[in-house]
Amino acid sequence: MSEAVNPTLEDLREIPEAAWLWDGVRGRIVWANKAGISYFGGDSLFDLVDRPFDFQEPGVENIAALARRLKRGQVENALLHFPSAGHNVPVSCRCMVHALSDGRPGLLAVASGMAAVSDVSTESLAQAFDLLPSAAAFMGKEGALHRLNAAALLLFGAGQRISLAALLDTAEASADLLTRLELAGTVSVIRTIPARIGPREVRITLRRLTTDSASPAYAMVLIDDVTDRRALERGAAMLTAPLPRAGEAAPPSNPNRQNKPQRSRRLLRQRRNRSSAAA
């Protein structure tokens, strides 16, 4: 790796160490080299640009803090830990400010190798997985779910914890997502699925962790409940709907109610006509 204090993205494109450019405010990756894409199980940069991160994930939380604290020209070594990517050990990175495409300051993180952190035990990593705020599980290649964290256990009933097909309540949707996962390495969709508290809109992200098809941790499943946010979005869209222009009548809220007087007058005329004819 170049020893330049502020390497360019071109300097980092082909190096063996992983490198990422983060938008710390949004908690998103906007650029990565090949090693950086592979670290998160992606096949292309698009997989990482679309990848949702939780601000409470240790690595993302650290990135956001560094983005707020570091000044241009400063370099700081940091341990970044991303359990959602399936890595049990944090990665040591050199972090520095780098401009984003819109001119805002971003954070460039360049890995210097996987850190052997003795004080991070397997037990504590398992506990961190269980305490993730979003529902998460490990999944085999055929869709069997093997370990669910506490949030997933609260969200889904016992019958849904068996497989991806049971969770989605449809084998066809499960087969489609598994096929897309095999082809792309990362899949993220929004679906309405049954839950213990009723139907919920969730973002389901599948991320392949290994090429070992026999591994019970072939992929990670992340499930974010977006029901309330989507409801707010729909409400905001209704509030911002255009009002009728001057001179235009507003659409009737109940056409049947508006036409009732007209029908009454028509019936009255028909009765009068019949009475006149009878006379």
Residue ranges of domains in the chain: 9-114, 134-233
Confidence of residue 228 (pLDDT cuts 50, 70, 90): confident
Q: What is the mean pLDDT of residues 185-189?
A: 88
Q: Which residues pair with 223 in a beta bridge?
A: 135, 204
Per-residue pLDDT at 6 exceeds 90: no
Q: What is the mean pLDDT of residues 58-77?
A: 91
Lowest mean pLDDT among 41-50, 143-152, 251-260: 251-260
pLDDT given at position 95? 94
pLDDT given at position 123? 60
Cα separation of 222 and 204, whole Å? 6
pTM over 0.85: no
Nearest to 190 by CA among 178, 175, 173: 173
Task: Classify domain 9-114 at the CATH topology level.
Answer: Beta-Lactamase (3.30.450)
Q: What is the mean pLDDT of residues 82-103?
A: 87
Q: What is the mean pLDDT of residues 260-276?
A: 64
33 against 269, higher pLDDT: 33
Confidence of residue 265 (pLDDT cuts 50, 70, 90): low
CB 218 within 8 A of CB 181: no
Q: What is the mean pLDDT of residues 272-278?
A: 63
Confidence of residue 85 (pLDDT cuts 50, 70, 90): confident
**Helix ranges (DSSP H) in the chain:** 9-12, 34-39, 45-49, 58-69, 122-130, 150-155, 164-168, 171-184, 227-239, 255-278
Per-residue pLDDT at 71 exceeds 80: yes
CATH 3.40.50.1440 fits 134-233, yes or no: no
pLDDT tens, residue by residue, 144-181: 998 888 888 888 888 899 999 999 888 999 999 999 99
Per-residue pLDDT at 274 exceeds 70: no
pLDDT given at position 3? 40
